[in-house]
Amino acid sequence: MSTHRKVAVVTGASQGIGAGLVRGFLERNYQVVANSRSIKPDNSADLLTVAGDISEPAVAERVIREAVEKFGRVNTLVNNAGIFVAKPFIEYTEDDLANVLSVNVKGYFYISQQALRQMLTQGFGHIVNITTTLVGQPVKGVSSVLASLSKGGLDAVTRSLAIEYADKGIRVNAVAPGVIKTPMHTPETHAFLAGLHPLGRMGEIEEIVDAVLYLDAAAFVSGETLHVDGGAHAGHW
């Protein structure tokens, strides 16, 4: 067990941004614990996968416990797990609400509590929340109320936790992506989605990874929401 290398925990890690974050951390010599409901087993020297629904308290506890058992600490937690349901507000169902709040809010709450308890025993740590630029800059024609309701809470709690734990050596930041080119977006939608950004293109997974890694290295930055959205948060164009 190493006593020097950093350890990152990533939720929603089986594909898209989450899988990119796992690769990015490993490439920078981190040891990584990766969680999602469908993640494949892996218990190699530098990577541990823990399958399970992060909205369940027992799964959140197991992720952090196994991270500490294998690697000795948790330097960084990236709350990446999330779902997006795009519907007009009056068409959302009870199931839509329950599913979004379960993953986006409960999944954040339980794992962050467990990680913070561990970070307090260490005297250091960093939490990065993946939100969405739609929280601060809604777009006409993109129905995003449940995203704003849930991810908007994460944006606010980023600053709240940053203040609460600053004197304990723990930082809390957020990354607010625009539309990122992941498998969830089919090629025929790319032209429309690119047009939602002033820079005229969709973001790449690696650009979100770079933002998270920047925040992880930026020791004097806390309570920050870093927009990686091609300028969309700046306003209408």
Please write the tens of the pLDDT for every residue from 43-62.
Answer: 899 999 999 999 999 999 99
- Sign of the CA dihedral running 32, 60, 78, 171: negative
As a whole number, mean pLDDT of residues 85-98 equals 95
What single-letter amino acid sits at 129? N
Topology of domain 7-227, per CATH? Rossmann fold (3.40.50)
DSSP 62: H
Q: Is 169 left (phi over 0), alpha (psi -120 to 50) or beta?
A: left
pLDDT in tens, 161-192: 999 999 999 999 999 999 999 877 888 889 98
pTM here? Answer: 0.94
Amino acid letter, residue 224: E
H and E: helices and strands count for the chain: 7, 7
For the purposes of burial, counting CB atoms within 10 Å of the CB of 102, is it exposed (0-12), middle (13-18) or buried (19 or more)?
A: middle
8 A C-beta contact, residue 49 and residue 38: no
More confident residue, 236 or 6: 6
Kindly state the average pLDDT of the residues 66-88: 96
In the predicted structure, residue 1 carries a pLDDT above the cut 50? no
CA–CA dist 5, 27 (Å, integer): 12
- The Cα–Cα gap between 48 and 190 comes to 34
User: Dihedral through CA 66, CA 72, CA 73, CA 79, nearest 10?
Assistant: -30
